[in-house]
A and B are shown apart, each in its own frame.
Chain A
């Protein structure tokens, strides 16, 4: 079965509370169950931290430029999607990711996903942003679909979207 692995990176790790950790665990389960519907297994989850002293203020993302910079400034040297969890993404945006993200994480440009920890919503945001990284674009006219541009949404994936995701270079056999 096709599989994907992710690196969970907590930016400004000291600010993450026990409730945030519960939320992140639940979010990973949402991604796991959502992707399973299109034949993709979540194989490995590695945990990483960037302490406040090294986060350079990026634990709070002010704008899209800063989100992109965060993914450029840090890289986990493996073949997994880097997902940077932050406590605040200012405004109504709750996550950002490149569409069809690169597999060479040393290449220039955004090379990870940024996800805001928001109670009850983090799972859909995580699955949505990693969906972008694996090649999915927004689906503007179907609020039941995971790739609808807003959350909460129905969180569904179509078989065609599954096929797109399975063709990404980060997918393991």
Chain B
């Protein structure tokens, strides 16, 4: 990882405003927008700079998308309001609207669902329609909304990994420091997540360390039946950065009630792409669920079993070493010079 270093004396509103328009050497517009949250100005002034960038059609599309991400860094209530406004004012800029919708999915409330529903219906690109649909699903699962139909991304399971040569996984409880850092990583992705209501379990899978930040209610023998009554987001999974060794939220676990004490589980990336899919059964004092990796480029065959019982919560499984084959980009010849 490498970060861009902007000298402190350039982190001033008048310079940042110029940088947003690409007029400051070695100070990229996208970074200027990101730094708006660090300026010593009011939230109203921040919003004014960011709205200005969103409205400026002379800026490259990715710069306007960076402005949406910067709106997402405002305090949660203000960010929710501004992202909702960004959707309304995006007009034909579907990427801006879909980015705002994606961020709203992580922080918004049920009052956003009708706006997202309208945006989903008007989206012309399949990718943006999927992004908005997932934002809607995320709100429904985060808040346990029962009377709103959502569309989850389709997923096809891979077969179980061959036992020979596969890596085995068994969960354990991490130390206090790792648990704190894992909880903080989940909070960065979901600012309203109550870290005191969650506990951390970790899995070592080959060189990769995964931290599973799970809602205590979802694995409490007396409370886990709530999973059979409403959609839930019981866990966030964080991975370790290979460079910084810090954790970052990478996957979200979503559950939905099915018939007779059973649930369906879907594990997705933060953008909604499915990674694991499975089913579970919740009985008196015990619960079991099985998950398998989905068929998608770069994902290895993995089978995972989750158990809640008298011994507490445990995760075990097997992972293949090789991933599902990835496609090749398109080769091009570039003119010399």
> Could you tell me the distance between the alpha carbons of A97 and B1 in the complex, rounded to whole angstroms?
6
Q: Which residue of A lies closest to B131 (CB)?
A: A57
Establish whether residues A108 and B298, one from each chain, have CB atoms under 8 Å apart when the complex forms. Answer: yes
User: Of B2-10, B220-228, B306-314, which binds chain A?
Assistant: B2-10
Give CA–CA (A91, B2) in the complex, Å.
11
Candidates B62, B65, B248; contact of A64 at CB < 8 Å:
B248
Query: Are A48 and B1 in contact, with the CB atoms below 8 A?
Result: no
Chain A 128-166 interface 0/1 with B at a Cβ cutoff of 8 Å (1 = within): 110010000010000000000111100000000000000
CA distance A47 to B249 in the complex (A): 32
Q: Judging by beta carbons under 8 Å apart, are B242 and A98 in contact?
A: yes
15 further interface pairs, Cβ-Cβ under 8 Å (given A87-B62, A125-B2, A129-B2):
A15-B62, A51-B330, A63-B189, A63-B249, A64-B241, A68-B239, A73-B297, A74-B328, A88-B63, A92-B34, A98-B243, A106-B322, A107-B321, A110-B242, A128-B2
Range, interface on chain A: 35 or more
Among B1, B62, B206, B242, contact of A60 (Cβ-Cβ < 8 Å): B62
Minimal Cβ-Cβ distance residue in A for B239: A65
Q: What's the dominant secondary structure at chain B's contact region? A: mixed
A31 at the interface (CB under 8 A from B): no
Cα A109 to Cα B331 in complex, Å, equals 24
**Judging by beta carbons under 8 Å apart, are A90 and B69 in contact?**
yes
> Is the Cβ of A150 less than 8 Å from the Cβ of B332?
no
- The reply to whether B25 and A120 form a contact with Cβ atoms under 8 Å apart is yes
- B4 near A63 with CB under 8 A, answer no
Q: Which residues of A contact B35 (CB under 8 A)?
A: 92
Whether A108 and B1, one on each chain, are in contact in the complex, defined by CB atoms closer than 8 angstroms, is no
Report the Cα distance A64→B2, complex, angstroms: 12
Judge whether A48 and B332 touch: CB under 8 Å: yes
The reply to whether A118 and B4 form a contact with Cβ atoms under 8 Å apart is yes
B321 & A108 in contact (Cβ 8 Å cutoff): yes
Is B163 an interface residue, CB under 8 A from the partner? no
Contact B248 A149 (CB under 8 A): no
- Residues in A with CB closer than 8 Å to B39 are none
* Chain B 27-70 residues near chain A, CB threshold 8 A: 28, 30-31, 34-35, 60-63, 65-66, 69
Which residues of chain A have C-beta atoms less than 8 A from B211's C-beta? none
Q: How far is the CB of B162 from chain A (nearest CB, A)?
A: 15
Q: Which residue of A lies closest to B241 (CB)?
A: A64
Contact between chains at A138 and B270 (CB < 8 Å): no
Does B175 interact with chain A (Cβ within 8 Å)? no
Residues of B within 8 A of A57 (CB): 127, 131, 271
Measured CB to CB, the closest approach of chain A to B105, in angstroms, equals 12
